[in-house]
Structure 1
Amino acid sequence: MNTISKAEVRAQTVRLLRSLRLHLTTPTGGHAPLLGDSPRAWLRRLPYVVALIMQASLIPTGIAALVGYYNVALPIAGALTIAQTAPLLLAITRPLAAWWISAATLVTTASITARYDQHGGTWPWTAPMILAYVFLLIALALRESRATLISVWIATILLTLLTTTLGFPHSDDGTTMLLVALGGAALLLGWAVQDRTEARRLLAEQEHISEAERERRTLLEERARIARELHDVVAHHMSVIAVQAASAPYRITGVPAEATEEFTAIAGTARESLAEMRRLLGVLRSEESAAEKVPQPGIAQLPQLIETVGRAGVPAELAVDPGLAEAVPQAVGLSAYRIVQEALANVVRHAPGSKVRVCLVDEGPTLLLTVVNTPPPKHTESLEASMEGTGQGLIGMRERARLVGGRLETGPMPDGGYKVAAVLPLETPREKPA
């Protein structure tokens, strides 16, 4: 039983050492420079500046400490100090390789200083060496995975135990435990910064996805609303077709039997189309409002809309060509009404107190619709902060114009006002022959 237990312990130890070696030899951060993906140039250069400043200050102090406290020869002291501080520059792109160089230098330094009598300072490493190692661990923690950081900390503990053995008969003055504590704190700090950076990146991605999803949902809601309103427009014409086709044999004398059958088929097809549209409308129409079942507005209802906006504190003028309300197709009139409605709502939210002029001009094959508002008075403030909304009104207006084959243009005016212009076709374009 004891033999099996020792074998299991030995196997677990071997697996632990293999895992430790794997994490200490396989970098996970790649070779991209630290802060290399920052959009600011000074941030991309910051790691190199810090590394050079650290080297310029630690190399002379480290050499002086080795020579003064241990009487180490100047060439050896210079080589050890440079080997300990040079990895700071390498750590910007290859932190794990830099750690191996630094750790090997610490072991070499401990084996050398153990042969000399100490005349002050710390043993087995000088303060500049400890600072260089701690700063290197911070750079390592900003790039590598958690498993690698834990492996590095365990290796640091083993390194301190090894140096204590090499330093016999020197007595440890707490420097090795200080290195372990500072190393753990540096790894934990870098770990926290890395997690915070990753959390901010994921949050930015989620906000981008949410914004795109919000725009998509707004577009789908507007399309569903257009589909419901389009049903009311098309259903009226289909009902007229069905009634005219069904009553034609009774209104017109001398209709041949073949024509009567044709009228009956047309009426049946129209009724089937109405039934299909009603089934589709049952999916699109929600239960929240019965107002959608009332007749849809058009150009003839624009005066009431202007009057409503005027009561909200936005004086508006309406100019419509004579006879335009009767000449415009119902779908185009509905789209024009909704575009004007959304444009006036934006004026109320963003420019309260400004004057608005709405113009509808018949230009032959097209309807030119413009809504122009003047700059708001200086003493007024936007009501957008105190009103709820999706902020996607322009999407709905563009979808309205696209529905009838038109186009929409919006933008600020030179005097500080805003303009919404739509060009809507008054005739359905005929298909070109193949």
Structure 2
Amino acid sequence: MKTPTAPDTRAFATRQLRALHHHLTTPHGEPTPLFGSSRRRWVRLFPYVLALILLFALIPSGIALLNAFYGLAMPVCAALTLAQSTPLLLAITRPLAAWWISAAAMVTTAAVTARHTQLMGGWPWTAPMIISYVVLLLALGLRERRATVISVWVATVLLTVVTTALGLPRLADGTTVLLIALSGAALLLGWAVRDRAEARRLLSEQEHISEVERERRTLLEERTRIARELHDVVAHHMSVIAVQAASAPYRIEGVPAAAAEEFTAIADGARASMAEMRRLLGVLRSEESSTGRAPQPGLPQLGQLVETVARAGVPVELAVEDGLVEWVPQALALSAYRIVQEALANVVRHAPGARTWVSLASDGPQLRLTVVNAPPPERTESLEASAEGTGHGLVGMRERVRLADGSLDTGPLPDGGFKVAAVLPIDPVQETPA
């Protein structure tokens, strides 16, 4: 094992002193007020109120004790006490700079009182000085980093030892040990509170990030589910195209050979497109998907949906305009069905037993869909398990309305109920179903 040499020891001591000087002279962050980021006004004002209360209590008592214990002149007592106490106000925004002023005032006070002839009390510091110094260190521990907190406590220990042992004729009493112990406790308490607050802040930020990511994942899952459902609609139209193109030469007499070849090419292209769509559906379909091979629902299945919800304890009245079911495009009918399904599922979840009205009507080139529920008759246990939606509530509704280039209006009603109103434009080209 290599024995440290004198140059190595000096280099190590020099590095430590430089690190100590850096931590004692470099504050952490911007000079913002203590608790300045709090949303509550009384919390932001609390440090100022506490500092003023301490100043009004410590300045008169400090002047009186210096005059009584050491017999100092009143101007000297006032100057030393003010130099020791007023940094409490500065500590709210710049605790490290306030500590330098307070430490210098404490050394000056010890030097002045030690050489005075009259000594009736303890030495080197009075109780008001110790209190103001400890409170200042508490504010410093709440603001500064751990390295700075440790450096300040080490500097406090060195300050007390040098003050009481070198060049001063008086022998110190228990106030020296008391100051070291209280300063360490104040710094440790301030640092622990600050570290806990920082951990809670980071946890809150992580929870916010997780919530944003959860919403984003929910949105992507809903979009994927909508894409899987639209696959069936598009596949139906593609299959119709393929069948019509393949059977055209046999259904129409006198078709030229070139036209027959064109029909065959159209049929082959449609079949190839359906094969590609099946591959796309395989990519979109997750292992947990329960879409199955059942036909996608539409407006004709609304009656069955209403009956299911009614069996779950929610009375629902359905009103569909005459002739609306026949001419609404299949994709739009699917979106309307899912919106009604999610709206009714929300009623079951949040207002079990509430009377509900569902209406669908045409307004020119638009489909108007409204689901309104009254407030629940009484507080009952949620029946969510009896009628769950297949999507993600309002997220799914918004995505389906956005897909149809429509608008959605949701919100509570004055009587305590809830309203879901959607306007879905109907493409004029698709008014006649295939």
Fold in common (TM above 0.5): yes
Indicate if the aligned counterparts of 2:122 and 2:172 stay in contact, CA closer than 8 A. Answer: no
1:182 maps to 182
- Whole-angstrom CA distance in 2 between matches of 1:391 and 1:121: 78
Paired residues of 1:109 and 1:125 also in contact (CA < 8 A): yes
Residue 218 of structure 2 aligns with which residue? 218
Deviation string, structure 1 residues 136-163 (Cα, Å, up to 9, x no partner): 1011111111111111011001101111
1:79-94 alignment runs, 5 A limit: 79-94=79-94
Asked whether the 8 Å contact 1:124–1:175 carries over to 2, the reply is: yes
Deviates more, 1:96-105 or 1:369-378: 369-378
SS state at 1:293 partner: coil
Q: Which amino acid aligns with 2:240?
A: V
For 1:107-118, list aligned pairs within 5 A.
107-117=107-117
1:162 partner SS = helix
Do the aligned partners of 1:340 and 1:371 also contact (CA within 8 Å) in 2? Answer: yes
1:116 partner letter:
H
1:111–1:167 contact (8 Å) kept in structure 2: no
Q: TM-score, normalised by structure 2?
A: 0.94
Give the RMSD, CA atoms, in angstroms.
2.3
Alpha-carbon spacing, 1:290–1:135, altered in 2? closer, same or farther (3 Å): closer
| SS of aligned partner of 1:424 | strand
Which shifted more, 337-346 or 65-74? 65-74
The TM-score, its normalising length taken from structure 1, stands at 0.94
Partners of 2:390 and 2:184 lie apart in 1 by 48
Give a deviation string over 1:372-396, Cα, whole Å, max 9, x none: 1112113435567999999951110
Q: Deviations over 1:51-106 (max 9, x none)?
A: 11111111111111111111122211111111000111111111111111111111
Q: 1:391 to 1:27 in 2, by over 3 A?
A: farther
Give 1:86's aligned amino acid. T
The offset of 1:293, in angstroms, is 1.8
Q: Which amino acid aligns with 1:250?
A: Y
Partner in structure 2 of residue 315 of structure 1? 315
Please state how far the C-alpha of 1:197 moved relative to its aligned partner.
1.4
The answer (yes or no) to whether the contact 2:360–2:369 under 8 Å persists in 1 is: yes
Checking the alignment, whether the CA contact within 8 Å between 1:114 and 1:167 is kept in structure 2 is no
Inter-partner Cα distance in structure 2 for 1:411 and 1:426? 25
Counterpart in 2 of 1:72? 72
Alignment of structure 1 residues 150-189 onto 2, 5 Å: 150-166=150-166, 168-189=168-189
SS in 2 for 1:147: helix
Which residue does 2:197 correspond to in 1? 197
Assess, with a 3 A threshold, how the Cα gap between structure 1 residues 383 and 120 changes in structure 2: closer, same or farther: farther
Distance in 2 (CA, whole Å) between partners of 1:391 and 1:126 is 71
Q: Is the contact between residue 34 and residue 47 of structure 1 (CA under 8 Å) also seen in structure 2?
A: yes
Aligned to 1:33: 33
Question: After superposition, where does 1:269-280 map in structure 2 within 5 Å?
Answer: 269-280=269-280
Shift of 1:165: 2.0
Q: Deviations over 1:375-431 (max 9, x none)?
A: 21134355679999999511101111222222211122233221111112232579x
Deviates more, 1:389-398 or 1:400-409: 389-398
Q: 2: CA distance between counterparts of 1:198 and 1:30?
A: 16
Distance in 2 between the 1:363 and 1:137 partners? 72
Q: Which whole-Å CA distance do the structure 1 matches of 2:413 and 2:323 have between them?
A: 30
Superposed CA deviations along residues 234-288 of structure 1, whole A, max 9, x for unmatched, are 0011011111111211221211122112112211211121111111111111233
Q: Provide the residue aligned with 1:349 in structure 2.
A: 349
Stretch moving more, 154-163 or 395-404: 395-404
The whole-number CA distance in structure 1 between the counterparts of 2:187 and 2:391 is 45
- 1:81-160, aligned counterparts within 5 Å? 81-117=81-117, 119-160=119-160
Aligned counterparts of 2:407 and 2:163: Cα–Cα separation in 1: 78
Secondary structure, counterpart of 2:230 in structure 1: helix
* Alignment length (residue pairs): 430
Work out whether residues 312 and 386 of structure 2, in 8 Å CA contact, stay in contact via their aligned partners in 1: no
Q: What secondary structure does 1:206 align onto?
A: helix
Moved more, 311-320 or 204-213: 204-213
Query: Partners of 1:107 and 1:37 in 2: how far apart?
Result: 35
Contact 1:114-1:166 within 8 A present in 2 as well? no
- Distance in 1, matches of 2:207 and 2:33, equals 27
Corresponding residue SS for 1:369: strand
Please report how far the alpha carbon of residue 40 of structure 1 lies from its aligned counterpart in structure 2 after TM superposition.
2.1
1:297 match: 297
Q: Which residue does the alignment assign to 1:366?
A: 366
**Greater mean deviation of Cα atoms: 109-118 or 170-179:** 109-118
Structure 1 residues 2 and 226, CA gap change in structure 2 (3 angstroms):
closer
Match of 2:50 in 1: 50
Contact (CA 8 Å) 2:153, 2:183: kept in 1 or not? yes
1-structure distance, mates of 2:364, 2:161: 93
For the structure 1 residues 96 and 214, does the alpha-carbon distance in structure 2 shift closer, same or farther, using more than 3 Å as the test? same
How far off its partner does 1:127 sit?
A: 0.5
The alpha carbon displacement at 1:307 in A equals 0.6
Q: Is the 8 A contact 2:345 2:387 kept in 1?
A: no
Question: For 1:324-364, what per-residue CA distance to the aligned partner results, in whole angstroms no more than 9, with x for missing partners?
Answer: 22211110111111011111111111111111111111233
1:405 paired residue number: 405
- Work out the CA distance in 2 between the residues paired with 1:263 and 1:135: 91
Residues 192-242 of structure 1 show CA distances to partners (whole Å, capped at 9, x for unaligned) of 111111112112211221221121111111111000000011001101111
Task: Please say if residues 411 and 420 of structure 2, whose CA atoms lie closer than 8 Å, have aligned partners that are also in contact.
Answer: yes
Question: Relative to 1, partners in 2 of residues 1:302 and 1:385: Cα closer, same or farther, differing over 3 Å?
Answer: closer
Contact 1:99 1:137 in 2 (8 A): yes
Q: Distance in 2 between matches of 1:53 and 1:313?
A: 63
Segments of 5+ residues of structure 2 without an aligned counterpart are none
- Map Cα deviations across residues 84-132 of structure 1 (whole Å, 9 max, x no partner): 0011111111111111111111111111111135644321000100001
Deviates more, 1:160-169 or 1:129-138: 160-169
Conservation of the 8 A alpha-carbon contact between 1:354 and 1:373: yes
Does the 8 Å CA contact 1:351/1:381 hold for their aligned counterparts? no
Alignment partners' CA distance in 2, 1:317 and 1:327: 22
- Gaps of at least 5 residues in structure 1 are none
Counterparts of 1:35 and 1:259, CA distance in 2 = 81
